[in-house]
Amino acid sequence: MNAPNPNSARPRTIVEKIWDEHVVVAGTDGAPDVLGIDLHLVHEVTSPQAFDGLRERGLPVRRPDLTVATVDHSIPTTDRSLPIADEIAAKQVSRLEENCRDFGIPLHGIGSPNQGIVHVIGPQLGLTQPGMTIVCGDSHTPTHGAFGALALGIGTTEVEHVLATQTLLQRRPKTFEVRVEGSLHPGVTAKDIILSLLSRIGVGGGTGHVFEYRGSAIRALGMDGRMTICNMSIEGGARAGLVSPDDTTYEYVAGRTHAPQGADWEAAVERWRTLPTDEGATFDRSISFDASELTPMVTWGTNPGMGFPITSRIPDPDAVSDTTQRDSLRAALQYMALTPGEPILGRPIDVVFVGSCTNSRISDLREAARMIRGRTVSDSVRMLVVPGSTEVKRQAENEGLADIFREAGAEWREAGCSMCIAMNGDQLQPGQYSVSTSNRNFEGRQGKGGRTFLASPLTAVASAVSGRLSDPRALL
Amino acid sequence: MTDQTHVREPFRSVTSAVVPLQRNNVDTDQIIPARFLKTVNRAGLGDELFNDWRYLADGSPNPEFILNRPEMAGRQVLVAGDNFGCGSSREHAPWALMAWGIRAVVASGFADIFRNNALKNGLLPIEVSPEELSRLFELVEADPDAAVTVDLEAEELRLPDGSVVGFTVDSFARRMILDGTDELGYLLTLEDELAAYEASHPPRVSTLAG
């Protein structure tokens, strides 16, 4: 934590510092602030209508040098040497290629060594840096908050605004301190921290706020773990989530393609060291819990807030007094075909998905590979491992992780969003159960009629091996 | 302060019977499932609105789902539970609602991104208290065809029993919708301020380098 700034009358949070530095026009006469944007990430699904809007008005992209595009959502994760079989998806991808060419935006497309899930490649390329404002037409943009950036998910109309003006109209968010102290036990991961938070505050608990994740348990995490946590800020309804930067952050960024070099690096780190929340700064809301009390978490329902420790029993709707809440719980259990009072451990499953912008980075794959090594995927389970980027894939292959997954009986895929969003043909069949390292267990999210248990990569592997929802601590 | 480019018809109020959807946390994957996001257009998503609730496995309409009741056709106000529009940032959600004919959603809470996306398209997110929402659901249950009026100009929701519930919509977005103008028009008037900001705020990275 930073000492109070002598030049400032009031200690500030990192969110306030980043905000204050990026106000282009302060909101007056009822208008929101106009916020300058340092980096705009673009993908194929939420951008075509925005580019159409520019064409209709005859506008250029104001800052192609602050804009970068990739393809991730609708592309196949099978053999990339073949044309995309889905004609509608193929058209969407070619539309992005045309738009990037016409407007001068760099594109890491299919075949590029830098292609990947948009929230994986930004950090990997060193484009994501502390103190930046970052936007993307994707709700998981808060992933980049792990670096101490203010990263907001936006809609397509806002994508058009940013393309045209490199600004965003926004009202100042409230701040929400999430303090996690103590040490995680073996087998308990960053994913379990965020699933635990969501189970405490619910999917609307952070609406209107930006989470700042703090405390010794957060500090102890590497950047991949911090990204996992920040990634799911939206699942708590927050507008963003971030971690004040520290040496772990700087070490990760150093030497990457777009990281500052030489004297610029020294100057950047000096600037970044002023970002962390000042001692004495206040938050609009706070919650704290102890990492040492956490166990592996899993969701049982149809939103990410419906989670509990994996050793729990399915909750009973009749014990809930509020009628709408009770109806929602009943609907969730009906969709999931689960019975109140039954333990969730041991539940047979059909598919295991390791991937998504939540858990597809090299550390996730290393942890998963370490656990599955020498074991095999159950005959009753289909397991997909989908690296978050082409670079993560290359790295995992070089480290022998891909062979470990293949030898265990898992499918090793090309990089993309894949079964997290099920736009590309990687999907559950109606009625199937998955254990998924992704971020959403909404009805039909992984395929119409599919049922999702969200969990960590370790829980996913333990479940793949046994064919049933399993506690990874038994395999450590 | 705004550019006078009219991008849509000015909107003041809507009077309509309601589509009641008494569920909390209706997420945007339910409003419009991801497999329909491969379109490159804004239009034509009305048939896919609430697709997985609306159609059975064989593709036939689900008779249990509210939107499939014949009397719902043409209704312009949806009433739902808390935290409507959570999840994905897909603007296809308000596009699909509007393509079906919805002009206002009344709920006791909205997810931030959905609320933003809705307002930018002239779809009104009307937030009322949980008590007011319960009363509205009760009135609709008593008389399913009763009309409500959402008056954006007055920021009033007029219920079938004659009572009036006040609401607030973001003042800036409200002005845009009443005038039929849009925010990009406003942003484009700020060229001098933007140039000054860019001069004093050197780029952190260049995506074109490296």
Closest partner residue to A138 among B22, B42, B89, by Cβ? B89
* Distance between CA atoms of residues A234 and A139, nearest Å: 7
CB atoms A32 and B172 under 8 Å = yes
* Distance between CA atoms of residues A254 and A261, nearest Å: 8
* DSSP reduced 3-state for A42: strand
pLDDT for the residue numbered A2: 60
By DSSP bridging, strand A23-25 and strand A107-108 are unpaired
Q: Are A238 and B83 in contact (CB under 8 A)?
A: no
Q: Is the pLDDT of residue A6 over 60?
A: no
Query: Is the minimum CB–CB distance between A86 and chain B shorter than 8 Å?
Result: yes
Q: Is the pLDDT of residue A354 over 60?
A: yes
Per residue in A7-22, pLDDT (tens digit) is 557 999 999 999 999 9
Per residue in A246-262, pLDDT (tens digit) is 999 999 999 999 999 99
Structure tokens at A5: 């700034």
Show pLDDT as tens, one digit a residue, over chain B (210 residues): 334 466 788 999 999 999 999 999 999 999 999 999 999 999 989 999 999 999 998 999 999 999 999 999 999 999 999 999 999 999 999 999 999 999 999 999 999 999 999 999 999 999 999 999 999 999 999 999 999 999 999 999 999 999 999 999 999 999 999 999 999 999 999 999 999 999 999 999 999 996
- The model's pTM is 0.97
pLDDT for the residue numbered B3: 43
pLDDT for the residue numbered A4: 54
E strand residue ranges, chain B: 13-21, 77-80, 104-107, 124-127, 147-151, 156-158, 164-166
Per residue in A334-352, pLDDT (tens digit) is 999 999 999 999 999 999 9
pLDDT grade for A59, boundaries at 50, 70 and 90: very high
pLDDT for the residue numbered A9: 74
pLDDT for the residue numbered A276: 98
Containing A363, the helix (H) or strand (E) segment is helix A362-372
Mean pLDDT of chain A: 96
Q: Which of B22, B21, B47 is nearest to B32 (CA)?
A: B47
Please report residues of B whose CB lies closer than 8 A to that of A234: 87, 113
Residue of B nearest to A256 (CA): B210
Task: Give first-to-last CA distance, chain A, whole Å.
Answer: 35
For residue A47, give the DSSP letter: S
Q: Is the pLDDT of residue A55 over 60?
A: yes
pLDDT for the residue numbered A439: 98
CB atoms B38 and A74 under 8 Å = yes
Closest partner residue to A157 among B117, B194, B210, by Cβ? B117
Please report residues of B whose CB lies closer than 8 A to that of A303: 25, 27, 86
Closest partner residue to B109 among A67, A92, A204, by Cβ? A204
Residues 210-249 of A with CB under 8 A from B: 234-235, 237, 239
Q: Are B25 and A203 in contact (CB under 8 A)?
A: yes
